[in-house]
Amino acid sequence: MFKYRDHLAAAVVLVALSSPAYAYIDPGSGSMILQGILAAVAAIAVTAKLWWHRLLVLLRIRKPSSLSSSDSVMNGDPSSGSHDRL
């Protein structure tokens, strides 16, 4: 489970780091922090899903498929709704 800790650590680092954004509206501190938490949870969910899939492949319960990279999240149609949602 070493890899899992890596991903979790990466998520925590992402939550903690970023430069303040230029915006002409006030994004709201609470709103920014909530998004950070939600995004971290989403990242963990995506990671967990990938590993679950790998485990099933390893146990030969499922065949290898397109769900092998988190990049797939980026390539979807905006309205397809096939990805993890928060």
CA 73 to chain centre: 9
Binding mask 14-43 for other proteins (x = CB under 8 A): xxxxxxxx-xxxxxxxxxxxxxxxxxx-xx
> How near is the Cβ of 7 to other proteins at its closest, in Å?
11
Write the secondary structure of 46-85 as one string of H (helix), E (strand) and C (coil). Answer: HHHHHHHHHHHHHCCCCCCCCCCCCCHHHHCCCCCCCCCC
Does the footprint of other proteins cover residue 66 (CB under 8 A)? no
Residue (59 or 86) nearer to other proteins, CB: 86
Q: Which is nearer to other proteins, 34 or 56 (CB)?
A: 34
CA atoms of 65 and 69, how far apart (whole Å): 10
Shortest Cβ distance from residue 67 to other proteins (Å)?
14
